[in-house]
Structure 1
Amino acid sequence: MIELSHVNKVYSEGNRAVKDLSLTIDDGEIAFIVGRSGSGKSTLLKLLLKELEPTSGRIVVNDMDLGKMPRRYVPKYRRKLGVVFQDFRLLKDLTVFENVAFAQRVIGVPGRVIRDTVPEMLRLVGLSAKYKAYPAQLSGGEQQRVAIARALINRPEVLLADEPTGNLDSFNAHEIMHLLEEINQRGTTMIVVTHSHEMVQQMKKRVITMERGAVIQDEGGSR
């Protein structure tokens, strides 16, 4: 479960990016965060990733109070999260297999485990046949699938997706959203930041609308 209680974030120049935000996202839920640029969506994700600290308020992710978390524990905490970005962030000199395996190698997963788990994850995202390809040889939709496989390879309890379809055409955007829905149905809690109102309307999931750092609407979902 993700819980934010009366969270505020004020930047040094006085810009109040998040205003008295209280929000609960249940285990296994998928929630879309929508709003115009500057509404606080990206700041919210950075707070959850502990890239930023709130000015006030409390954030709890899977029973971990981020405000009480020692700095030395932050890398371990982040490894429990899956993160997908708009710009894919693949390593261009590594193959599809190597890009996904990289997320396991950095935390010391044994090679024999990697050889078993990476093909399994590539099957999940529909890229088994592309395991030897390099990012430049893939379409945008395929690159995002690799990024999703990399984010999921360590079986995170929570997946944060920042504009995961922002650089994709309509067809690939729909494919990626349905893939995320399938992953959510397997039990992964998911927060998806997006500008696409059409997409969230089609998905018929919980939609949280932000404006000027505050939640102005929260509809759908299991609350």
Structure 2
Amino acid sequence: MTRRPHEPSPVAGGSGFPTLPEDLLLLLFQPESGAVRGENTLFYVLAGAVLADLALQGSVVARTRASSIDVEAVRDKTPTDEILLSAWDYVSDGPRGVQTVLPAIGPALRRPLLNRLLARGDLRKEDRKMLALFNTTVLRDGRNGRRAGLVREVRDVLVDGKEPTPRIAALTALIWAGGALHQFDPEIPWNSSVISRARELEQGNWGAGAAGEAVTRTMTAVIVNNVISATAAVSTHR
């Protein structure tokens, strides 16, 4: 019987260092509107961030099988974070194709990740009255500077040519993969040089300092390219 990943509890495991999918969701949040960029394909991108985080920790590796690439759990690298553990458990039964893993783990991610951001104070809820009749709740930036700091780190890589850490490289590549990068303009200018650098990150070309991260770069590139394929397919069928 095929095991499905369980949905993690809303804020469980959220008291430590933020996970990659948390940072990605925070980056995709739009302070001006209170919305999240790319909702139609969000679960693919968040799932890609989970796999990328596992890859950065050495908890999963890529295996080539025939014409596809599978994700395989590394047995002695069990993650402690509940959200990451749920995905790791799903692939621990045996190697699974990335295109199978993304839709399996993605749909359950938004709610617990959002609750973690609220619990940390990265986002906050604000009550509003609509048409002077109806009360509604909107999301607002938590004003703790964490989202602004992440945007600055991504901008440093794409605009100023700074060599990224593996984490920021993966985040930037996933924003590009989900088709949301142009929506950061003017915070991050949308121009040919930014697009060119994003495409380099997509392929795992992070810079000379990342030479020792060959396995991680390859795994992240596999994930990012599968996210691009998945989101492109959704856009085509809309």
Shorter-chain TM-score: what band?
under 0.3
Q: TM-score, normalised by structure 2?
A: 0.26
More relative contact order in 1 or in 2 (CA 8 Å, sep 6+)? 1
More helix per residue = 2
TM superposition score normalised by structure 1: 0.27
Higher strand share: 1
